[in-house]
Amino acid sequence: MIGIIGGSGVYEITQKADSCVKKTVKTDYGEVEVSILEIFSKTVAFIPRHAQGHSIPPHKINFRANIEALKLVGVTKIIATNSVGSMNMEMPPGAFVIPDDFLDFSQNRVKTFFEDKVVHIDVTEPYCPNLRDVLKESGDVILGGTYVCTEGPRFETPAEIKMFKMLGGDLVGMTGIPEATLAREKEMCYNSICIVSNYASGISDQELTIDEVFEMLSVKEVELLELIYNFIKNVDDLSDCSCHHALDGAEA
């Protein structure tokens, strides 16, 4: 089964769904409402990360519950959408970027399912390269880039952005981690569509607002949904991947 996690402004993907059933999934970390859709004769599980109405801020998202819920309904491959600011002039507002690495500057999040035993997952390739190849075939995207995750909910300072750039960051957001690594711990493929909403603080000559994020998503909504639908159409949801064996050799 294919899983889709919708970020800011992406609260449903039912346009081309033949059916939609909402179910409440009970996990060890809380309950999650998951929409089970039939799209192109494939079963798709969808979760809006911030809930309907954008009611959950980034530092309050129950990442473990969301990933566990998708695992429990049978998801093996996840695509997420993430709104980001750009630190790279070659990744302008409106671009869709598929990252291939990350820097984690989030602070107060539980980042593992394994709190009672020692498990070291490999993140040499933090984002699934097989899903990246499918996304490449599915729309106009920029391949590669380092995603920097901050805690939020405030935007970053110009000095922080300058530091992130010096460290090799290209994009900055608040929701990509620990989502990606939790999916790896559950042996699911995971990749992200980063929608660039603006240039980051100190690069943009304007004050940053959440309105910019929603305005850009409104402009790019049709194109983003088409990319997601093409991905669903193109992906082989039964194919094996090294992500599905991430725990091999990981336990001490």
DSSP per-residue string spanning 50-92 = TTTTT-S-GGG--HHHHHHHHHHTT--EEEEEEEEEES-TTS-
Cα separation, 86 vs 198, whole angstroms: 6
| pLDDT for residue 8 | 67
**Domain membership flag for residue 92:** yes
71-75 contacts, C-beta under 8 A, 24 or more apart: 71/186, 71/188, 72/25, 72/27, 73/1, 73/23, 73/25, 73/34, 73/36, 73/45, 74/1, 74/43, 74/45, 75/1, 75/2, 75/3, 75/45, 75/188
Cα separation, 196 vs 127, whole angstroms: 18
Whose CA is closest to 172, among 62, 250, 97? Answer: 97
**Domain membership flag for residue 52:** yes
User: What stretch of H or E contains 39?
Assistant: strand 30-39
**Domain membership flag for residue 251:** no
**Domain membership flag for residue 46:** yes
Cα separation, 4 vs 45, whole angstroms: 6
Whose CA is closest to 131, among 235, 13, 36? Answer: 235
| pLDDT for residue 9 | 61
CATH number at residue 213: 3.40.50.1580
| pLDDT for residue 205 | 74
**Domain membership flag for residue 221:** yes
pTM (2 decimals)? 0.93
**Domain membership flag for residue 252:** no
**Domain range for 214:** 2-245
Going residue by residue through the chain, which has 252 residues, state the pLDDT in tens, using 9 for 90 and above.
999 998 766 767 778 888 899 999 999 999 999 999 999 999 999 998 876 766 788 888 999 999 999 999 999 999 999 999 999 999 999 999 999 999 999 998 999 999 888 999 999 999 999 999 999 999 999 999 999 999 989 999 999 999 999 999 999 999 999 999 999 999 999 999 999 999 998 887 777 777 777 888 888 888 999 999 999 999 987 778 999 999 998 886
**Domain membership flag for residue 177:** yes
Degrees to nearest 5, angle at CA 79 with 144 and 4: 160
Q: Residue 140: beta bridge partners?
A: none
First-last CA distance in the chain = 30
| pLDDT for residue 173 | 95
**Domain membership flag for residue 239:** yes
- Please tell me the total count of domains within the chain: 1
